Amino acid sequence: MLEDAGGHVRDADDDQMRLECGVFGAWNVAESSAITALGLHALQHRGQEACGIASFDGQLFHTERHMGHVGEAFSGTDLVHRLPGRYAIGHTRYATSGASVIRNVQPMFADLEASGIAIAHNGNLTNFRALHTQLVAEGSIFQSTSDSEVILHLVARSRKGSMEARFIDALSRIEGGYALLALTNECLIGARDPLGIRPLVLGELDDAYVLASETCALEMIGARFVRDIEHGEVVVISGKRTLRSSRPFPAARARPCLFEYVYFSRPDSVVNGRSVYDVRKRMGACLAQETGVDADVVVPVPDSGVPAALGFAQASGIPYELGIIRSHYMGRTFIQPTQGVRELGVRMKHSPNRQVLEGKRVVLIDDSIVRGTTSRKIVRMVREAGAREIHFRSASPPIKWPDFYGIDMPDRDKLLAARKTLAEMQEILEVDSLGFLSVDGLYHAMDAGPRDPVHPQFTDHYFTGEYPTRLLDREIAEGRNDPVERQLSLLVTA
């Protein structure tokens, strides 16, 4: 077992990146908990370990939090009786084994003197440990190890008058990437971090408003997309249909997360005005232009490599085929008791289509390479199915740096591209050639032109090492933060 950049424990053979969560909120919607459950179902890809819903019926708050999938937790005709009301927020979460406990599941709820408040949070706070240490020293008692609970404490301790003002006061203390929803007895609040690292969208359902991490959740419930919540924006929905917007913090350049397009968002979502599916196809086309090779067939690693493989095939003229078939019925809790069985585990998820692969020169397309463990297993499987040559292509640049904004990613010494040269990686993966999309190629696929080295248009630190915010907790852990400066940073509040 290994510990990742977020302090979680993960299996050494686990080569999959995960996003921490997805959020959904509905205001003044009939059967809001059922609508929220449907929205969370569409966001299941953003978190598959746990889920929760908090509703308000006009007098009382009701909450349910469960381990497992949305369909398992919130099925049944009694859902609207268990969670009544026209107001609700929900959350679907991924947690590694070290943090997969019910006390960390959201939404988190607290009774304050003026109102109850439930919070759902997508992303990570990069000053969580610093704030947690200060709050505990001042008498706060925490019930979880989630950074979301810090926000609740900051709201509770704020001396501002209204709940909205207290929420904004709390936002002024936190750093990192986030999309936040808060439900009170008077309003639904949505907020996006000042750089827009994590996504949040506004939709309209009949005469009501909904908020969600992705547009695919709006499609699921039949809502109309209105617009993206802007970076640094706070929206407050109240009454029957009142929506107010504010930008309470100094203006900053937007830098949305590129991995929303590379991997995390659903292909049918539109994120920050860009179709995820179209971007991924263009990534494949750019990859073909940069790393073209003579081959017989282009094969995606399903499902995330499919759009890029289509783009690669169309740009190169090489036929596209499904040479790997993915099983969608693999159990989440399958036990792998021995190394021998563990080595066969990849075949539970991916099976070779021998008729497509045998005797062929194969271009194998995946969205990215993290540790390389799963990629090597897939290569061996394709080779055993008779492929004559295997040319592995990654539709993203080499991942060389960890993330601290909501992506569960290994530390740098566990990232293959951070430790090895291209030739060494090619040998480790046992492929005939290896190629990656360049950073400029990815920017071109985003229709953003070349990367601006002074003011990058996106959050791209996992490729470049240039983090968009300071990493206070990391600085403290590494002894790079002066105690006086740290204390001053914690006291910069209203």
Residue 150 pLDDT grade (very low, low, confident, very high; cuts 50, 70, 90): very high
Q: Identify the pLDDT of residue 483.
A: 47
Is 187 catalytic? The answer is no
Question: Using omega within 30 degrees of 0 as the cis cutoff, is the peptide bond preceding 84 cis?
Answer: no
In the chain, CATH 3.40.50.2020 covers 276-458
**DSSP secondary structure, 386-447, as one string:** T-SEEEEEESS----S---SSEE---GGG-HHHHS-HHHHHHHHT-SEEEE--HHHHHHHTT
Lowest pLDDT segment from 9-18, 102-111, 244-253, 473-482:
9-18
Strand arrangement, sheet containing 21-27: 61-67, 50-56, 87-93, 21-27, 208-212, 201-205, 224-228
Whether pLDDT at 348 is above 80: no
Nearest CA to 61 among 156, 184, 181? Answer: 184
| pTM given for the model | 0.90
At 127, list the tokens. Answer: 């000053």
Q: Identify the pLDDT of residue 424.
A: 98
> pLDDT digits over 160-186, tens only?
989 999 999 999 999 999 999 999 999
> pLDDT digits over 436-493, tens only?
999 999 999 999 989 999 999 999 999 999 999 999 999 998 886 654 444 444 433 3
> pLDDT digits over 216-233, tens only?
999 999 999 999 999 999
Q: Is 477 helix (H, G, I), strand (E, B) or coil?
A: helix
Pick left, alpha or beta for residue 205 (phi over 0 → left; psi -120 to 50 → alpha; otherwise beta): beta
Work out the average pLDDT over 244-273: 95
Whether pLDDT at 6 is above 60: no
Task: Tally Cβ neighbours within 10 Å of residue 222.
Answer: 11
Whether pLDDT at 288 is above 60: yes
Whether pLDDT at 8 is above 60: no
In the CATH hierarchy, which top-level class contains the domain 276-458?
A: alpha beta
Whether pLDDT at 332 is above 70: no
Q: Identify the pLDDT of residue 115.
A: 86
Greater pLDDT, 408 or 376: 376
Pairwise CA distance, residues 434 & 472, whole Å: 36
At 99, list the tokens. Answer: 């943090």
Lowest pLDDT segment from 75-79, 206-210, 263-267:
75-79
Instruction: Give the dihedral of Cα atoms 418, 419, 425, 429; nearest 10 deg.
Output: -100
Whether pLDDT at 125 is above 50: yes
Q: Identify the pLDDT of residue 407.
A: 87
Q: Identify the pLDDT of residue 170.
A: 97
Q: Identify the pLDDT of residue 347.
A: 67
Do 216 and 266 contact (CB within 8 A), yes or no? Answer: yes
Q: Identify the pLDDT of residue 99.
A: 56
Catalytic annotation, pick one of 21, 51, 257, 286 = 21
CATH architecture assigned to 13-255: 4-Layer Sandwich (3.60)
Nearest CA to 54 among 29, 98, 24? Answer: 24
Phi/psi at 259 (5° precision): -70, -15
Q: Identify the pLDDT of residue 479.
A: 81
Lowest pLDDT segment from 10-14, 58-62, 260-264, 289-293:
10-14
User: Average pLDDT of the chain?
Assistant: 89
In the chain, CATH 3.60.20.10 covers 13-255
At 115, list the tokens. Answer: 């109102």
Percent of the residues in the chain that have a pLDDT greater than 90, as a whole number: 79
Instruction: Return the CA Rg of the chain.
Output: 23
